[in-house]
Amino acid sequence: MRLATVIEDGLPAVAVVVDSRCVLLDIPDAAMRSVRGIAGSGPAGLERISAWLEEQPQRAFRSLDAVEFGPVVPDPGAIYTIWRNYADPGDPGDALPDRPMVLGKLPSSVSGHRSIVSWDRVLTTNVDAEVELGVVIGASATAVTPATAMRHVFGYTCINDMNATDPWLDGDQWLLGKSMTGFCPVGPWVVTGDEIDPRGLRLGCTIDGIAIQEGNTNQMRYSVAEVISYISRHVSLRPGDLIATGTPGRLAGPIGPDRRLQVGDVVTVWIDGIGELTTSMA
């Protein structure tokens, strides 16, 4: 199942995506009014949505081109990002960190598919885009093992981990530089975990259609299960929390690894089996 958050009459609403169309979810239950709530409702919640969907007439559906997308989880409790989690060709064997390297983004940084992102160029002109497989947490997780961690995954989405890693912003943790308004585009929808295997997914990022990243989730140094387990040993993961699981290295060309985002750039991150998430820079 694919679930999106769309903006309807100025407010976020859940939509069920079927092929190139969607229908607004209308189940009289507070838990069904947000992707975060649905993530916490477990398999029973998805069964309710499936039964409801079967009863919807074709006239209830609308084209995806006619909707305004919001962040797929507009109100995450927490956003974790994993640093240096992709092995690059030529890395020495000892390059593997001895644990997942966990950074963070503030929940207020989320934005949606087709959003326009701008920032104060006086603060920084050193902003990058990064494609990351996003994990949406379902059932709460505290001190879970890798063997049981996947039971706590609600689904997967695309995340563009925009960031400015300038030392004058906040040292080497980069919380401010990763959390400016709009710096976490997430979407366009979440694909539930029963429909996708996070292993072996191709992913990439383009600027104006030119590739700057390409990779495969098989390059992850720490798997989704290992990342969830590690984080949950230290903090409790809750429904709707997001984990950005790392990013492949920049391509050598044609744009090159040192090109930073500029006004007018259109960035698209894509992941096989999920879709494309596009953001414009202003």
73 in a structural domain: no
Angstrom distance (rounded) from CA 154 to CA 41 = 10
Residue 150 predicted with pLDDT over 80: yes
Region for 151 from its dihedrals, namely left if φ exceeds 0, alpha if ψ lies in -120 to 50, beta otherwise: alpha
74 in a structural domain: no
pTM: 0.96
Same domain for 155 and 17: no
72 in a structural domain: no
The residue whose two tokens read 């049981």 is 148
Same domain for 119 and 21: no
| Domain carrying residue 85 | 79-281
pLDDT (tens digit, 9 = 90+) per residue, 86-144? 987 666 555 667 899 999 999 999 999 999 999 999 999 999 999 999 999 999 999 99
Same domain for 173 and 265: yes
The residue whose two tokens read 């379902």 is 138
Same domain for 161 and 27: no
pLDDT (tens digit, 9 = 90+) per residue, 160-175? 999 998 888 877 778 9
H-type alpha helices, 150-206: 167-170, 175-178
**pLDDT, the chain, mean:** 95
